[in-house]
């Protein structure tokens, strides 16, 4: 990035010149790294609405234009012309692979999709009705108990192996969490299947009969993985980076990312959104819920709407909406009431002054649940699918941070508004 003009801060009778750094795309940033040491003040930005936590070359979002690029390539082009493992290569290594590089990468991923057989016993410790995200946090974190030969973060070879293992094994663990919740036997990965087909096979096949993956369904699944692969410094990615900044091993960092993604304000919104659409139930009840979403005294929010960065249509939601019609037709689901409610809700909300003035548009989670439900997944599997898709983004951002010579432990400060210094008061004096 280029250093150009400076920003001047005038505080307590003194002027401080702060460097302004210019990016490839997006807003300039004011470099405040020396602010505290020179001016003795902190900046204050709860929720980091105006704060860049790092520099990165991986993903760019233009919230006003509704643009999303992975390594400079627009998401619409990747969703239409690429496939998930090629996108994984792009996110991890920065360039689209040559044919030989792609074959080699896909082979490496395929060869790591099985998990250590003893990991099967971890699942026994969970109740069958556990949320699969709880299981995933536990089992992915436990990978560091099995793959000791890839937890030295200072060894680039081990960082690479850990990255491949995570991209390859998290879908297997997600499918195992699903099978465990059903009381069905785990299904081993199949090396002859592509990544998306393998995941569908591990989720939906049973030993009692053959299961053939519908290629069109696999393509829709693969596109969903691509749309969720990375999204710059969102809450879960920032969690992975902060955990990684302490030197924690990659499996622990990804488990932390999964835990953060689970929240309904973040990756848990896809499950919450479908449950909301079901609760609305019919088009005539939409005004009631719109009114609740606008009521400051009601904590209800329209799940799948709004975004910290996008103040325009989330480009992923556009692709997802097109895919919803395609998948529902494929699955023979016509006049799906949930989709009818979603489309009408989107139409009404986008004409409503409250949503227009606050620039609240459907986000990636608004339509994804409708597709996943049509594919046969329960709502509890929606966020695990988001997590397995985002694993490549998390690990790419983690690798970028670890390899950055500027990398140091993340340690924000605070605005202390608690009690002033005071002396201890013995019990008999209180």
Residues in contact with ligand SDX by CB under 6 A are 47, 231, 234, 265-267, 269, 293, 301-309, 358, 360, 363-365
Question: Encoding tokens for residue 203?
Answer: 């989720």
Question: Encoding tokens for residue 376?
Answer: 């046969």
Which residue in this structure is represented by tokens 């919450």?
A: 272
The distance of closest approach from Cβ of residue 347 to ligand SDX in the complex, given in angstroms and rounded to an integer, is 16
Measured CA to CA, the distance from residue 239 to residue 22 in angstroms comes to: 25
Is residue 94 within 8 Å of 57, Cβ to Cβ? yes
| Choice between 29 and 309, CB closer to ligand SDX | 309
| Choice between 17 and 295, CB closer to ligand SDX | 295
The distance of closest approach from Cβ of residue 364 to ligand SDX in the complex, given in angstroms and rounded to an integer, is 5
Nearest Cα to Cα of residue 199 among 230, 178, 228:
178
The distance of closest approach from Cβ of residue 93 to ligand SDX in the complex, given in angstroms and rounded to an integer, is 21
The distance of closest approach from Cβ of residue 269 to ligand SDX in the complex, given in angstroms and rounded to an integer, is 3
Which residue in this structure is represented by tokens 């500027």?
A: 406
Options 112, 231, 307, 314, the catalytic residue: 307
Measured CA to CA, the distance from residue 396 to residue 76 in angstroms comes to: 21
- Burial class of residue 420, CB neighbours in 10 A (0-12, 13-18, 19+): exposed
Contacts of 417 (CB under 8 A, 6+ apart): none
| Choice between 190 and 301, CB closer to ligand SDX | 301
Measured CA to CA, the distance from residue 251 to residue 263 in angstroms comes to: 20
Options 365, 404, 423, 428, the catalytic residue: 365
Measured CA to CA, the distance from residue 163 to residue 104 in angstroms comes to: 15
The distance of closest approach from Cβ of residue 1 to ligand SDX in the complex, given in angstroms and rounded to an integer, is 22
- What are the distances in angstroms from CA 190 to CA 198, 344, 389? 6, 41, 19
Nearest Cα to Cα of residue 342 among 303, 292, 313:
303
The distance of closest approach from Cβ of residue 293 to ligand SDX in the complex, given in angstroms and rounded to an integer, is 4
365 is catalytic: yes
Is residue 172 within 8 Å of 115, Cβ to Cβ? yes
| Choice between 36 and 44, CB closer to ligand SDX | 44
Measured CA to CA, the distance from residue 184 to residue 426 in angstroms comes to: 60
| Choice between 221 and 302, CB closer to ligand SDX | 302
| Choice between 151 and 167, CB closer to ligand SDX | 167
329 is catalytic: no
Name the closest residue to ligand SDX (Cβ): 306
| Choice between 113 and 383, CB closer to ligand SDX | 383
The distance of closest approach from Cβ of residue 369 to ligand SDX in the complex, given in angstroms and rounded to an integer, is 11
Residue count of the chain: 430
The distance of closest approach from Cβ of residue 288 to ligand SDX in the complex, given in angstroms and rounded to an integer, is 14
Is residue 31 within 8 Å of 18, Cβ to Cβ? yes
| Choice between 114 and 348, CB closer to ligand SDX | 348
The distance of closest approach from Cβ of residue 105 to ligand SDX in the complex, given in angstroms and rounded to an integer, is 24
| Choice between 309 and 342, CB closer to ligand SDX | 309
Where in the sequence numbering do the catalytic residues fall? Answer: 307, 365
């Amino acid at each position: 990035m280029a250093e150009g003009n400076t920003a001047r801060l005038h505080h307590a009778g003194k002027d401080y010149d702060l460097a302004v750094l210019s990016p490839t795309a997006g807003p300039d940033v004011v470099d405040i790294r020396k602010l505290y040491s020179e001016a003795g003040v902190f900046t204050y930005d709860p929720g980091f609405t105006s704060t860049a936590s790092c520099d990165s070359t991986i993903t760019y979002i233009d919230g006003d234009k509704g643009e999303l690029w992975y390594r400079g390539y627009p998401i619409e082009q990747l969703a239409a012309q690429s496939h998930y493992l090629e996108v994984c290569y792009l996110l991890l290594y920065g360039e689209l692979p040559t044919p030989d590089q792609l074959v080699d990468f896909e082979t490496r991923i395929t060869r790591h999709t099985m998990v250590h057989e003893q990991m099967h016993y971890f699942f026994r410790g969970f109740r069958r009705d556990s949320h699969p995200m709880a299981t995933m946090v536990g089992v992915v974190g436990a990978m560091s108990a099995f793959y000791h030969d890839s937890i030295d973060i200072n060894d680039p070879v081990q960082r690479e192996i850990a990255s491949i293992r995570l991209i390859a094994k998290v879908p297997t663990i997600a499918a195992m969490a699903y099978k465990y919740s059903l009381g069905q036997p785990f299904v081993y990965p199949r090396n002859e299947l592509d990544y998306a087909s393998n995941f569908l096979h591990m989720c939906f096949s049973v030993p009692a009969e053959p299961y053939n993956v519908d290629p069109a369904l696999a393509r829709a699944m693969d596109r969903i993985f691509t749309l969720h692969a990375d999204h710059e410094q969102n809450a879960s990615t920032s969690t992975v980076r902060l955990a990684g900044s302490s030197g924690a091993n990659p499996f622990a960092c990804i488990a932390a990312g999964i835990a953060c993604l689970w929240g309904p304000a973040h990756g848990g919104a896809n499950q919450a959104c479908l449950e909301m659409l079901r609760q609305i139930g019919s088009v005539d009840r939409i005004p009631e819920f719109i009114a609740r979403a606008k009521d400051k005294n009601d904590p209800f929010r329209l799940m799948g709407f709004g975004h910290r960065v996008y103040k325009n249509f989330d480009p992923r939601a556009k692709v997802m909406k097109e895919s919803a019609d395609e998948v529902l037709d494929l699955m023979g689901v016509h006049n799906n009431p949930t989709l009818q409610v979603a489309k009408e809700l989107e139409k009404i909300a986008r004409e409503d002054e409250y949503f227009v003035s606050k620039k609240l548009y459907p986000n990636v989670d608004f339509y994804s649940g409708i597709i996943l439900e049509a594919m046969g997944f329960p709502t509890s599997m929606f966020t695990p699918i988001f997590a397995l898709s985002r694993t490549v983004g998390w690990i790419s951002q983690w690798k970028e941070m670890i390899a950055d010579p500027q990398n140091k432990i993340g340690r924000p400060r605070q605005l202390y508004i608690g009690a002033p210094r005071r002396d201890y008061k013995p019990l008999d004096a209180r």
